Structure 1
Amino acid sequence: MSYDLILLPSGVATSIDEVDAYLAAQEGQPESATVADIAAEINARNAALPASDTFLATDSVGGAPSGTTLTVSSPYDALGFVRNLLFDLATPRDYAIYDPQLSWLIDPKDHIPVSVTHGGAGEFPYLTEELAHNWVAGLSDPNPYLIVERGDQRYIQTYRDQRGEYTLEYRDGSPQRHFGTVLADPDEVARIIWDWTTDPASVEKDVAWTGVEL
């Protein structure tokens, strides 16, 4: 079983329908120089590995008339590695990643580089306001949590319980500076997480926080 991720330029789409339309419009177009460069790097890294350790589900990627888009298929157990590699290659080139299995468009436009752990999908190297709202609202079993980290003991996290309520906590450098609250509105939770991502001090006035004993 393989897992597909698709690269496309940042800003060309803001919805899944627009992504699908853009991909369709690129079919048959000559491969762009940027896509060729990314594909060459992916192929070189894959070819440098023993056959038992390769991370592509195909012999190679690129070389197709797909314009400014690139589809990368990997075995499911290599997904985390491949996704991290694509972020490394795509983000500096102002490229977004589309995950058609989850219907997620991960676009670096206006992103902030932080460490994000999504309980259902793994780790990501940045957050945007749109992703914060999409991910918080979509948290579901078996791992309905989201963590955003800035460094050692500086993070904000939320967990969605079976009633649909969100336990929201943040830590500001030490166990003595660990606070929490419970909220019902996913948009409010996402807004607070995004506010913390842009300005950690701003969340202190957002809601009535209480100290958390761990």
Structure 2
Amino acid sequence: MSYDLGVWAGDAEDPQARYASLCDSSGSAAPELDGFYRDLTAKYPELYEAEDPEESPWNAAIERSGDGAVLAIQHSRAVAVTRVVLDLARKHGLTVFNPQTGEVHRPSVLDLTMCDGSRVENPDAAGIKTALGRLSAKNWYAVLERGDHYVQIGQGKFAAAPRGKFALERRDGSPERHYRTEVGSLAEVVTAFAGFAAQDSSWVEGFEWEKVDFS
């Protein structure tokens, strides 16, 4: 059994029905999906093109039809691959639907997601503070995203954060504009997330940032 995602251009009043239509359809892919597909397969080649199929994250070939696609991901690779899919979908202005959870990630919506799978769309300042208050050793990260920009927080070994500190990161549109810092209090984290939500860039100046190099 695979962990599936649906990706498409534009929005849909009924994402579940839109996803079902992708699963049942066939035909040539529209150009709206070309850039996303090219970037995704550059990182994770199609199963039939992988040098070692056992190392591939895919359970099947990527099914493209019209301006949408269905991705069949191995459960063991679902978390890492989903993160990449969401990053690329933001970059290319695409919607991502998770049929396992019913979550819809739209490129222009403010979206707060946590490690435990909880999600809040267009959270206000109070909602952000409440959500971040639930960070814990198990629920160790949160991401607030809008389009191809986001701010994220992590704690513990998975975030490579020292004991008693949080790893705060931001991405200003592309992987080349990804920055990281470490903060010592949840109040600072809330300030950063609230500033990002309000589109008030002055919050960035309150921290000393290091550029993250993914090469």
TM superposition score normalised by structure 2: 0.52
Given that 2:8 and 2:68 are in contact with CA atoms closer than 8 Å, whether structure 1 keeps it comes out as yes
Specify the alignment match of 1:6 in structure 2. 6
Flag structure 2 segments of 5+ consecutive residues without an equivalent. 145-150, 156-165, 169-180, 204-215
TM-score normalised according to structure 1 size: 0.53
Residue of 114, 118, 123 corresponding to 1:118: 114
> Root-mean-square deviation (CA), in Å?
4.8
4+ runs of 1 displaced by more than 6 Å? 139-142, 154-158, 169-173
Alignment partner, residue 34 of structure 1: 32
**Which residue of 2 is the match for residue 90 of structure 1?**
89
Letter of the 1:57 counterpart: N
Partner of 1:101, secondary structure, is: coil
Residues 109 and 128 in structure 1, CA contact (< 8 A), matched pair in contact too: no
Deviation at residue 33 of structure 1 after TM alignment = 2.3
Matches within 5 A, 1:28-177: 28=25, 30=27, 31-35=29-33, 38-39=36-37, 42-43=40-41, 45-46=44-45, 47-58=49-60, 60-63=61-64, 66-110=65-109, 118-121=114-117, 129=122, 136=131, 143-144=138-139, 146-148=141-143, 174-175=183-184
Helix, strand or coil at the partner of 1:4: strand
In the TM superposition, residue 40 of structure 1 has moved relative to its aligned partner by 5.5
- Residues 140 and 201 of structure 1, relative CA distance in 2, 3 Å threshold: closer
Q: Percent identity?
A: 15
Q: 5+ residue gaps in structure 1?
A: 159-168, 182-189, 203-214
Q: Tell me, yes or no, if the aligned pair for 1:136 and 1:146 is still in contact at 8 Å.
A: no
